[in-house]
Amino acid sequence: MGKFSGEEIVERLKSLAGWKLQGKSIRKEYELPSFVDAIRFVNKVADLAEEADHHPDILINYRRVILTLSTHSEDGITQKDFDLAKKIDQEGKLHG
């Protein structure tokens, strides 16, 4: 699975609300109702990441969760990142 070109990334991001290109990764901020909701959401993201064997960088700041996805082995963004982003977004709708 190879990394996508800049044009391919921009095109694929159109189908992911709120995800933005940042260097060699894609990033999204989630605002949750409470700190406890943020932690529950992160725990679910961890489960999804383990299932996919693909792990995001996660920053928690009270009710805000920032997720950053990239494929380190490819030094860029691949289909794995977009697949996990879609699964995370589905979970975010349940927790947000």
Q: Where along the chain do its domains lie? A: 6-95
Q: Taking the domain 6-95, which CATH number applies? A: 3.30.1360.20
**How many Cα neighbours within 13 Å face the side chain of 89?**
15
Confidence label for 93 from pLDDT (cuts 50, 70 and 90): confident
pLDDT of 92 reads 75
CA–CA dist 31, 92 (Å, integer): 9
Task: List the alpha helices (DSSP H) in 1-34.
Answer: 6-13
SS3 87: helix
Confidence label for 91 from pLDDT (cuts 50, 70 and 90): confident
Average pLDDT on 78-85 reads: 97
